[in-house]
């Protein structure tokens, strides 16, 4: 059975990697996706100049009285571990701010603890009952069980920056540069409030839309970035470290493993290509599966496309892998059964099935689902 009815969905894959043109806001130029165009443009970038700019930013960052030079928003994963250890090598003292994931895995716990060997770590854990309610609403309203996860990843570090008076924050890569996005977005050096509202994964859903009889406006404070006035009062600037030195996921993973990050022998689920990414949140499988149902590509397709660009794997081999694996149902993720993931947030199988059907592009075929989830 083909993955997609190519004609009906008008699916065309990038001529360089294997990403389809069904990714939202990712225009193709002469048959090539914007991530491939950005990757090639890296060769023309004066990286020495960028590093000189970074050095200036770090010098300014040190001029605050908080006791820390900058904040690194972290999951304990490969990029976070790289960011923290790289910044320490560059002579700064980071504070790690970890926004707790929706369903932390044992490996995720171990990697957060490992990274805490290198720098002081603050873990921000919003009210768990509210969080579970947000998981349910995120799934039903926008087809994203991980809506609160993404909201807190962007809001928690900014809120801590304002609270503790630490003006400089370093996120990892610019996602539009690494994975594609609207033309020009790949050049963003800073993550602003406007960037968060456009690319922060809110899917058109505002925090105040979540307020109901169970969830109050005060509960939602954990998921809202500080106001521009609050950010300006501390002079908060959130940078993408990947705009100052070329981002390389495999290099980051190798460095992270040398620094004690644990990974697995096999990817967390068969629809993933990398063994070293997103190991901390058991909900990630469902999040990625819904992306496949909506747009016709899964996380594995994005991961293997990065490896095609860097020359790690040939395009034809990648295409065969994508045809065999992309969109496979995540019966388990990082060792956690999907039924445990659903049960933890009070979602039953019928709701999952109904929601999946509602968000599925009609041209995306169901693939290898457990019997109870298969359409009749």
d(C-alpha 364, C-alpha 289), whole Å: 11
Q: How far is CA 256 from CA 50, 115, 146, 261, 372, in A?
A: 23, 9, 25, 5, 39
The residues facing 91 across adjacent strands are: none
119 is a contact residue toward Zn ion (CB under 5 A)? no
Closest distance between Zn ion and the C-beta of residue 117, in Å? 38
Are the C-beta atoms of 127 and 222 separated by less than 8 Å? yes
How many angstroms separate the most distant Cα atoms in the chain?
64
334 is a contact residue toward Zn ion (CB under 5 A)? no
Q: Which is nearer to Zn ion, 309 or 325 (CB)?
A: 309
d(C-alpha 95, C-alpha 152), whole Å: 17
22 is a contact residue toward Zn ion (CB under 5 A)? no
- How many residues sit close enough to Zn ion to count as binding (CB under 5 A)? 6
Q: Which is nearer to Zn ion, 38 or 168 (CB)?
A: 38
Nearest residue to the partner Zn ion, using Cβ: 14
Identify which range of 6-14, 110-118, 167-175, 294-302 contacts Zn ion by CB under 5 A: 6-14
Closest distance between Zn ion and the C-beta of residue 188, in Å? 20
Identify which range of 26-34, 123-131, 155-163, 261-269 contacts Zn ion by CB under 5 A: 26-34
Q: Which of 16, 22, 38, 105 binds Zn ion (CB under 5 A)?
A: 16
Closest distance between Zn ion and the C-beta of residue 326, in Å? 15
33 is a contact residue toward Zn ion (CB under 5 A)? yes
Q: Which is nearer to Zn ion, 36 or 345 (CB)?
A: 36
Q: Which of 3, 9, 14, 130 binds Zn ion (CB under 5 A)?
A: 14
Rounded to 10 degrees, the C-alpha dihedral 145/129/152/22 comes to 10
d(C-alpha 226, C-alpha 339), whole Å: 36
17 is a contact residue toward Zn ion (CB under 5 A)? yes
Q: Which is nearer to Zn ion, 268 or 298 (CB)?
A: 298
d(C-alpha 158, C-alpha 237), whole Å: 9
Beta strand 94-99 with 121-124 is parallel
Identify which range of 14-22, 76-84, 328-336, 340-348 contacts Zn ion by CB under 5 A: 14-22
d(C-alpha 22, C-alpha 271), whole Å: 18
Site for Zn ion in 36-65 (CB under 5 A): 36
Give me the helices (H) in 10-122, please: 34-41, 47-61, 78-89, 106-115
Distance of CA 359 to the CA centre of its chain: 20
Closest distance between Zn ion and the C-beta of residue 245, in Å? 22
The encoded tokens of residue 37 equal 């165009």
Identify which range of 11-19, 48-56, 313-321, 356-364 contacts Zn ion by CB under 5 A: 11-19
For Zn ion, the binding residues (CB under 5 A) are 14, 16-17, 19, 33, 36
């Amino acid at each position: 059975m083909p993955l997609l009815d190519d004609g009906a969905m008008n699916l065309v894959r990038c001529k360089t990697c294997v990403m389809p043109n069904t990714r939202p806001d990712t225009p193709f130029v002469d048959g090539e996706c914007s991530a491939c165009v950005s990757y090639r443009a890296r060769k023309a970038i004066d990286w020495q100049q960028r590093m000189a700019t970074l050095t200036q930013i770090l010098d300014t960052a040190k001029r605050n009285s908080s006791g820390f030079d900058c904040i690194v928003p972290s999951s304990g994963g490969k990029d976070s571990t790289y960011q923290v250890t790289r910044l320490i090598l560059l002579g700064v003292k980071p504070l790690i701010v970890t926004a707790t994931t929706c369903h932390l895995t044992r490996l995720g716990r171990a990697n957060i603890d490992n990274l805490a060997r290198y720098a002081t770590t603050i873990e921000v854990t919003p009210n768990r009952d509210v969080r579970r309610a947000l998981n349910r609403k995120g799934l039903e309203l926008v087809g994203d069980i991980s809506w609160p996860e993404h909201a807190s990843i962007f809001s928690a570090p900014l809120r801590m920056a304002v609270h503790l008076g630490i003006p400089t924050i370093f996120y990892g890569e610019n996602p539009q540069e690494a994975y594609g996005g609207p033309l020009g977005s790949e050049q963003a050096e800073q993550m602003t409030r406007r960037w968060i509202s456009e690319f922060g994964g809110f899917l058109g859903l505002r925090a105040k839309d979540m307020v109901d009889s169970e969830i109050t406006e005060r509960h939602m404070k954990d998921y809202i970035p500080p106001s521009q006035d609050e950010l300006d009062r501390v002079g908060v600037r959130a940078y993408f470290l990947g705009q100052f030195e070329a981002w390389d996921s495999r290099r980051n993973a190798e460095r992270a493993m040398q620094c004690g990050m644990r990974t697995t022998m096999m990817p967390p689920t068969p629809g993933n290509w990398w063994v070293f990414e997103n190991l901390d949140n058991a909900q990630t499988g469902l999040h990625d599966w819904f992306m496949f149902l909506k747009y016709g590509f899964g996380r594995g397709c994005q991961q293997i496309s990065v490896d095609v660009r860097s020359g790690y794997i040939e395009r034809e081999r990648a295409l065969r892998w994508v045809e065999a694996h992309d969109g496979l149902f995540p019966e388990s993720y990082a060792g956690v059964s999907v039924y445990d993931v659903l049960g933890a947030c009070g979602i039953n199988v019928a709701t999952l099935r109904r929601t999946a059907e509602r968000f599925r592009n009609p041209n995306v075929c169901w693939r290898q689902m457990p019997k109870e989830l298969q359409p009749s």
